[in-house]
Structure 1
Amino acid sequence: MRELQLHLRSRRVPLALATVTTSIALAWALSLAFTDSATINARTASLAIMLAVVAVGTTLSGADGALDHTMAVNWPVRRVGHLLLAAATITALLSLSMITDTRYEPFALVLRNTAGLLGLTALGATVLGAALSWIAPLTWTLIAVLPMMGSSRDLRMQVAGWLVQPAGTAAATTCAAILAATGLLAYALRGCPVRPVSETAPDR
């Protein structure tokens, strides 16, 4: 238990969890206050999920990058567990809205967007590092929520705007699944790139 607590604190998980909860609650509160719909629209839900996974991205590496690659720890299993736990936490927090009059739904869309954006964040962390893992999910989400990116029968639009496509859209679901699987596999096997100590050491 002590080891788990140290692991979570070293990756700033408590702060990330607070940010995730705040982002989801704020989007819910704004929808409750300014709309009459019982369903939070896909654009608002996507923005809330994006902010949540960006917060999770900061936890994908510790202060010592070299330690995250030591052979003394089964890092692939730990990394997979970390991502799965993050996905479960975000999904659970979104699902809490089901007991209120304004909901994140349908659940299939919530699950699809969470999995896809979290996979994209993990992929960004693998390539650029945890500190820059926010670039890919933020960029794609901002493109997807543009007014012209609504429901479409065009395959290219369905892929580019997969976040706002209706639940059950095959192209959007496939895109999210590929992002989720690729990000999970890449992060599990490689983790974040090891940075020189001079880049990660705190300023004195």
Structure 2
Amino acid sequence: ENRPDSNYYGIQELHNTWTNIAYILVALILCMRQTPKLYQIEDSRRRMISMVLFGFYCWAILMTGITSWWFHATLLFVAQKSDEFFENCAILSVFYMSRKPLCLASIYWTVVHCGILFVGVFTVQNLFCEVHLVVMVLCGLFNLRMRIAELTHGSAVKNEIEQHAMVCAGSFAIGGSAWLLDMFA
């Protein structure tokens, strides 16, 4: 590989390495900005469940940044698998946060699903992570669509959430297309 960013002072993929700072910053900013809003949830049980799942989400995003940085700096297989594991954990936590009703089972199933995910990512070499990620994003978008349908028709909140959902779906389509091109082209 004769790319200009290859092996810059021992860093294998310099530009792919430093761009992971964004994950770390997003995780820290999300945690600082959203955690106070979670304290406003009146139902103490729902507040605790939301805080646990949201805290896990922030941690998974932070670890995605750290392990992706580690992978692109070293190109080690274990670092790649760690990166894949944590990016899937982030998607899982969003999926279980958006389930209805939000209950202790959401935490339980997040832990169980992450345990199964860990085994799959580190033992199945080919495409396990990628297939799981795509399936979970599609399930998450479907789940989001169901939650949006429950909102009052024509309300400003519903319209705003629908716009954000379209951006999410469009981003997934663009990112998925780029990923497929990268894998098969």
Please give the TM-score of this superposition, normalised by the length of structure 2.
0.36
